[in-house]
Copies of this chain bind each other. A is one copy, B any other.
Amino acid sequence: MPDLHSAEIIAVGSELLTPHRVDTNSLFLTGRLNELGIVVHAKTVVGDDRADLATAVRGALSRADLVIATGGLGPTDDDLTRDVVAQVLGRTLAEDPQIVEGMVARFARRGVAMPAVNRKQAQVPQGAVVLPNSRGTAPGLLLETDGRFIVLLPGPPREMQPMFDEQVAPRLAAMTAGRQVRRRVIKITGRSESQVEEVAYPIYSRLTSPVGPVQTTILASPGQIELHLSASGSDVVAIDRTLADGVAQLSEALGSIVFSVDGRSLETVVGDLLHARSLHLAVAESCTGGLLLGRLTEVPGSSDWVVGGVVAYSNSVKVQTLGVGHDLLEAHGAVSEPVARAMAEGVRLLGADVGASITGIAGPGGGSPEKPVGTVVVAVAYRETVARTFLFPGDRETVRRHSTSAALDMIRRSLL
């Protein structure tokens, strides 16, 4: 029985070599392979081209214990993966009558005859294990060659993912001797990547698992920093203990800027806090124009703790719907702490316990020397009303994303 350690992933499809589409199947596959203790060493994208695909398959098979190729199993002339892999391995193709039967039945259920082109999908290289497709016509294939494995999966994620989980993962698990990669994620908001790294580095540089150093990665996006800790081995209990210890040390050093160590998003953490306290939230947004409400209502079940809100893009909506006084707007301007407070208190009257507001200048226009682009005021009205002025870097989209994260964090802090 071979022991699989290393994998390479090949995504096949000319559309993945345009400026418009990126291969995301490999993210799913990498996560699943890591859980099986298999490390991905390289990913390749090739077009629907016989020579390029053959080169990629030959190269990957020469380096990795396992090669997974996605895409190119369809019925059209462009779909070459089956053919090219058979040729690289020197296998003949033969039609599998069971696959043909399954496809004919599948089309019949939809009341149509199977197009002749689909017959091609029943071609199976000699010695291959057929992986039935519960969501589409193209079956997957698993082949062994010189103690190495190549798995061919369909490109559409809704077909590829269940096929991997139901048919590939159990076969791979039998070949990895119980090895697993375990991972923990610490999520942080309100600090820059370098500020977080300064605190975290001395700690994670000395974390060691039973099988060697803990792998650490820091990922930054506007308004959020993630610290990833991972380690692999077959003593899962010992590894989990090591990672939990690392998470505890880092959480203590980083303090209240850590909002989640269990994978939850910032909006889910806020929702859980509201839900646990039977509180309802309403939101008034100006420059973010609905994005904060959009993030909150992405959480399934959010109707239990969000009543809704107002997007007060124009001053007249601020006055009419939120009851912000004309005098306040004139004295301080729409982007000011007094107006943000009035918006948060005004929107709370929609039947909520907590009101939050965002008003600011997201750009590209609208800035001034006193209030440059990136100036954003957030207010939260709960037991008391607090307001804070930020100056966020970046373009319109980045400023808007920072603003919604800052508001979520202020709501979180006012509930703690």
Contact = CB atoms under 8 A, between A and B. Distances in A.
Nearest to A306: B313
A265 to B, nearest CB: 13
B219 A15 contact: yes
A297 B30 CA distance: 36
A17 B30 contact: yes
Contacts of A321: 308, 310, 321, 350
Give me the 10 closest cross-chain CB pairs, A-B, nearest first: A289-B297, A290-B293, A290-B290, A19-B31, A308-B313, A290-B294, A308-B317, A308-B311, A307-B314, A43-B45
- Range for the number of chain A residues in contact with chain B: 35 or more
Given A41-B17, A45-B42, A311 B298 contact: no
Contacts of A40: 17
A55 B41 CA distance: 11
A194 interface: no
B52 A42 contact: yes
Interface-centre pick from A27, A52, A313, A363 (highest chain B CB count, 10 A): A313
A272 interface: no
Interface string A16-40: 1111111110111011001000011
A31 B21 CA distance: 11
B310 A308 contact: yes
A285 interface: yes
Given A56-B42, A309-B310, A311-B283, A350 B18 contact: no
Chain A interface mostly helix, strand, loop or mixed? mixed
Contacts of A303: 313-314, 366
Interface string A309-351: 1111110110011000000000000000000000000000011
Contacts of A123: none
A291 B289 contact: no
Interface string A260-303: 00000000000000000000101101111111111011101111
A268 to B, nearest CB: 13
Given A289-B294, A321-B350, 13 more contacts: A15-B217, A17-B43, A19-B27, A19-B30, A20-B217, A41-B47, A43-B44, A55-B59, A285-B293, A290-B309, A307-B317, A310-B311, A317-B351
B365 A20 contact: no
A28 B19 contact: yes
A143 B401 CA distance: 39
B312 A316 contact: no
A52 B14 CA distance: 24
Contacts of A34: 18-19
A396 interface: yes
A46 B42 contact: yes
A350 B217 contact: no
A240 B188 CA distance: 49
A49 interface: yes
B30 A41 contact: no
Interface in A206-240: 217, 219, 226, 228
B296 A289 contact: yes
A364 interface: yes
A307 B313 contact: yes
Contacts of A95: none
A397 interface: yes
A174 to B, nearest CB: 22
A91 interface: no
